[in-house]
Amino acid sequence: MTHRITLIPGDGIGPEVSSAAKKVIRAAGVDVDWEVQHAGLEVAKLTDTPLPDSVIDSVKNNKVALKGPCGTPIGGGFRSVNVSLRQRLDLYANVRPVRSIPGVEERFDVDITIVRENTEGLYAGLELMILPGIAQSLKLTTAYCSKRIADYAFRYAVKHGRKRVSFAHKANIMKISDGLALDSTREIAKNYPEIELREIIIDAAAMTMVRDPNSLDVIVTENLYGDVLSDLGAGLVGGLGFVPGANIGDESAIFEAVHGTAPDIAGRGIANPTAIIRSAVMMLEHLQETAAAQRIETALYRQYREGKVLTGDIGGSANTRDFTSELCRLIEEGS
């Protein structure tokens, strides 16, 4: 079977790591017809928009996309490509599995998943300057979106054999908005009696993540909290260069590297492609190419365990091409 998938290479090191992911997917025996679409800073310079309508149309048509990092100006300029994609395509679930890799950040042994609501909260972008020097951001919380993300988290827990869903909130302070989200989650939890619901204040959740992360199992939370916890989780397993990410809706899904564009090393061929390769594994699982996904993950863990061909960010001397070639070799050897 040939899968038609949108590829958004992105900015900076995005094209380099995206190319590596394509090679790894091919080595795993999956046939893909890639439709390349461009978004981000470089596109904005040419077209005055970082997210052309053609990108949205492509993802809608193909249902699945693999995406590299896209740059976003800080404090001004255009809106984040990531936020725009999530809202325009209603990709309401941001899913971040946080799992330790052999030989990377050995202080922790982590296996949790963070499920973050993707479309509302403070990231709805409802901001205004109410008086000179006084800015206001409105936090949008609806029962509909709160129930939808909670249901996704519980379904994820059932599918992946998890025991607990931990809902992280601040309902002790934001009694109306987070209170609504908490009540909505409790209502959904009744439909999944086999899964334990744990309610935890967001600051306590952050502390627990660095003391006993696996006790949280599957974390579900609102947009801003989930953004912060996701990066905290990445720090436990070596950084953003090692964790995958997915943005999933009822109609479409985008799988992406969650790290930045790393303009300081762009074009030098030394970027570590692990994050986008692990995102590709999630994508293959989504496409029910589970055997190929398992072959890639097994080979990747073996490569890190052996420690012979690794990139400079973790003490190796390999460039992106060498790292990718070795991974492809291990995949083919294990087939």
Residue tagged active-site, from 123, 152, 156, 225: 123
Task: Tell me how far CA of residue 169 lies from CA of 95, 232, 256, in angstroms.
Answer: 17, 16, 26
Q: Which domain holds residue 155?
A: 106-237
Q: How confident is the model at residue 335 (pLDDT cuts 50, 70, 90)?
A: low
| Cβ neighbours of 149 (radius 10 Å) | 29
Catalytic residue among 31, 57, 203, 250: 203
Tokens of 124: 């709805």
pLDDT tens digits for 43-84? 888 888 899 999 999 999 999 999 999 987 654 556 678 888
Average pLDDT, the chain: 95
Assess whether 211 and 330 both reside in one domain: no
Q: What's the total number of domains in the chain?
A: 2
Q: Is residue 63 flagged as an active site residue?
A: no
Domain's final residue, options 207, 237, 267: 237
pLDDT score for 109: 93
- Phi first, then psi, for residue 51 (nearest 5°) are -135, 80
The pair of three-digit structure tokens given for residue 157, joined into one six-digit string: 């827990």
Same domain, 265 and 305: yes
One of 11, 151, 217, 227 is an active-site residue; which one? 227
- Cα(220)–Cα(227) distance, integer angstroms: 11
Whether 245 is in a domain gets the answer no
| Mean pLDDT value across residues 203-207 | 98
Question: Catalytic: 152?
Answer: no
Dmax (CA) for the chain in angstroms is 65
Q: Is residue 210 part of a domain?
A: yes
pLDDT score for 73: 62
Active site residue 170: yes
The owner of tokens 């790292």 is 323
* Whether 197 and 268 share a structural domain: no
154 domain residue, yes or no: yes
Catalytic-residue membership of 123: yes
Whether the pLDDT of residue 183 is over 90: the answer is yes
Residue 257 has pLDDT above 60, yes or no: yes
Q: Which is the catalytic residue, given 152, 170, 178, 225?
A: 170
Per-residue pLDDT at 232: 97
pTM value? Answer: 0.93
| Domain shared by 213 and 310, yes or no | no
Q: Collapsing DSSP states into helix, strand and coil, what is residue 148?
A: helix
158: domain CATH number is: 3.40.718.10
Q: 56-61: long-range contacts at Cβ-Cβ below 8 A with a sequence spacing of 24 or more?
A: 56/85, 56/88, 56/89, 58/6, 59/6, 59/85, 59/89, 59/252, 59/254, 60/89, 60/251, 60/252
Mean pLDDT on 97-121: 94
pLDDT in tens, 260-298: 999 999 999 999 999 999 999 999 999 999 999 999 999
Please tell me the predicted confidence (pLDDT) of residue 318. 97
Could you give the percent of the chain with pLDDT greater than 70? 98
